[in-house]
Amino acid sequence: MASAKAMKSTSPKEVQMKVKRFEKKPPLQVSILEAIQDPFFILSQKGEFIKVNPKGLEILGYSWEELQKMALIDVVVQEDHGNILHGCEEMGREEKFT
């Protein structure tokens, strides 16, 4: 015999609220990278942009096509260039972590 809970019908208003909540969620096809609300960059060992999420594009003010021709050092203030170059050198050492 079905329980009272299972037999309870859902009102049209409840259905509309559930549909609205579902629609607010990002589509399943959206990658995690695109869903991240903070700027996120994937760089090559030379500091070239491999992937940038939409927030990163917005913050930097460049299109993906423009960033593909650039490196991180091109969008960082000059006084931070030494830190960027050092970081790229560190990545280039291909140290393995255990």
What is the chain's pLDDT, residue by residue, as a tens digit (98 residues)?
444 444 455 666 776 776 677 666 655 546 777 888 899 988 887 888 988 999 999 999 999 999 999 998 899 899 988 888 887 777 777 655 44
**Helix boundaries (H) for 1-98:** 4-7, 12-24, 32-35, 54-60, 64-67, 81-92
pLDDT for 94: 61
Helix (H, G, I), strand (E, B) or coil at 51: strand
pLDDT for 36: 84
Cβ atoms within 10 A of the Cβ of 86, count? 10
Helix (H, G, I), strand (E, B) or coil at 64: helix
Q: 86-93 long-range contacts, Cβ below 8 Å, gap at least 24?
A: 87/47, 88/43, 88/45, 88/46, 88/47, 91/43, 91/45, 92/45
What's the CA gap between 49 and 57, in Å, rounded? 11
Q: Enter the tokens of residue 53.
A: 């999420």
